[in-house]
Amino acid sequence: MPRTLPPYAASMTDHSDLTRVVTTETVVAERLVAGGAALSRRSDGRIVMVEGALPGEVVEVRVERRHGAERGRLLRIVEPSPARIDPVCPHVLEGCGGCDLATLGVDDQRDAKAAVVTDALRRLGRIPEPVVRSGPALDPWSFRTTLRLGVLHGRAGLRRGDSHDVVALDHCAVAHPLLDELIVEGRFGAATEVDLRVGARTGERLALVTPSAAEVSLPSDVLVVGADELAAGRRAWIHEEVAGRRWRISAESFFQTRPDGAEALVEVVRSLCADLLDAPVSDGADRLLLDAYCGVGLFAGSLLGGLPGWRTVAAERSRSSVADARHNLADLDARVVGTSIERLRAPRADLVVADPSRSGLGRGAVAVLAGSRAGRLVLVSCDPAAAGRDARLLGDSGYRLRESVVVDLFPHTHHIEVVSVYERSEG
């Protein structure tokens, strides 16, 4: 039976002011791809990308041409997938764009994300049979310790799907309780945006308010700072505990949005290079880890803390993160370099761990990291398309992909974190 489109989906892809309407079609969704849309086909075989559709569904869409590609605005679900569920959070039904995979069960999400990574490595990485497996399962609820929120009439909320409009929240199902309290009780005056960050294991809380912290009302334990104050030179941070270490995280520094997720990434990286890390060091020659895009020092500190015979060169462009990394790695044999990876003079390394931003490494960074001549390179990608592109570039630079591990840090969303291990080819 045809299924009327839920109200939240109708608002997800409203590009009517930006696109040219082509026609209304009934299409079949085949698979999810990087970015969260479903690759779907018309009856004549032409491809239409549809946000909000699930694999196997027959949907009615308004086909629009955007930036040269055809995209389908979901109008009606004609034949729903057996995997489709009703969203747990009522704010999804109101149009909140924070959880764009909320109509798919958690186990199905994990399988779908592994399939997306496999597809990206095949198509973009030109790897015929990539080895892709799912990593440790993480709690799908009450996990987020960081959120960037819009402000509407003094209340914080998430953006509507594919829009700048704010959906005010009285509860966020994926927010950690320490953060959810700030969403519910916080009043942010004339602010336009607020970044909320909490230390789940330290209890510390911070609010970075844009443009200023004037007229903000939050519980007394929250460190409140305005974006104008940071621009004037003020420093503000909280601490989190991950992998047995205490981390200073400044207001403008990147850190994973959940401590158990950060630990999961560390453990997956460790498992992929345990033979190197645990091997005895002979002749008094130290081994070198090149930690690229080191952030606040998570991988260098977690992998090498208390490990003899290893030293680190950690590189990061963000000034705030560099300052944190120098503080967090002060007890290790670590040199933190403030530079982009493309400008780094890479030292000869035994192991490279790289955790770039969503755009991935790119040709310049691959050339620099390959110049280290490390026998093993572990790449942490937060976008499967970037993982695929980087796989091809690394393959052209003499590195062979051994396997990839998907770690689902962001349940209910299309965001995917994947850890891939590469071996340098002989010769």
Which residues lie closer than 8 Å to 177 by C-beta, 6 or more apart?
142
H-run or E-run covering 185: helix 177-185
Question: Beta 38-41 vs 20-32: how paired, if at all?
Answer: antiparallel
pLDDT means over runs of 10, the chain (427 residues): 46 47 88 94 92 95 80 93 94 91 95 97 97 96 97 94 86 97 96 98 98 97 98 97 98 97 98 93 83 98 92 97 98 97 97 97 98 98 98 98 98 97 87
Instruction: Tell me the per-residue pLDDT of 320-351, one tens digit each, with 9 for 90 and over.
Output: 999 999 999 999 999 999 999 999 999 999 99
Please indicate whether the domains covering 3-84 and 107-139+258-424 agree at the CATH topology level: no
Considering the domain 146-250 in this protein, what is its CATH number? 2.40.50
Residue 21 has a pLDDT of 60
Enumerate the domain spans of the chain.
3-84, 107-139+258-424, 146-250
Instruction: Tell me the per-residue pLDDT of 148-157, one tens digit each, with 9 for 90 and over.
Output: 999 999 999 9
**HSE, side-chain direction, 13 A CA sphere, residue 296:** 23
Sheet with 166-168: list strands edge to edge. 166-168, 155-159, 146-152, 193-198, 205-210, 222-226
**What is the DSSP secondary structure assignment for residue 236, as one 8-state letter?**
-
Between CA 424 and CA 347 the distance in angstroms is: 16
Question: Beta 47-50 vs 69-79: how paired, if at all?
Answer: parallel
Q: What type of residue sits at position 252?
A: E
Closest by CA position to 119, among listed 427, 399, 387: 387
Between CA 425 and CA 157 the distance in angstroms is: 49
Which residues lie closer than 8 Å to 194 by C-beta, 6 or more apart?
148, 149, 151, 156, 186, 188, 207, 208, 209, 210
Superfamily of domain 3-84: Nucleic acid-binding proteins (2.40.50.140)
Distance set, CA 72 to CA 2, 69, 83, 420 (Å):
18, 10, 21, 33
Whether 344 contacts 368, CB under 8 Å = yes
Fold of the 107-139+258-424 domain: Rossmann fold (3.40.50)
H-run or E-run covering 280: none
Instruction: Tell me the per-residue pLDDT of 349-378, one tens digit each, with 9 for 90 and over.
Output: 999 999 999 999 999 999 999 999 999 999
Coil, strand or helix at 49: strand
**What is the DSSP secondary structure assignment for residue 404, as one 8-state letter?**
E
H-run or E-run covering 395: helix 384-396
Residue 13 has a pLDDT of 43
Instruction: Tell me the per-residue pLDDT of 10-61, one tens digit each, with 9 for 90 and over.
Output: 444 444 444 566 789 999 999 999 999 999 999 888 999 999 999 999 999 9
Coil, strand or helix at 422: strand
Question: Whole-prediction pTM value?
Answer: 0.92
Between CA 100 and CA 8 the distance in angstroms is: 10
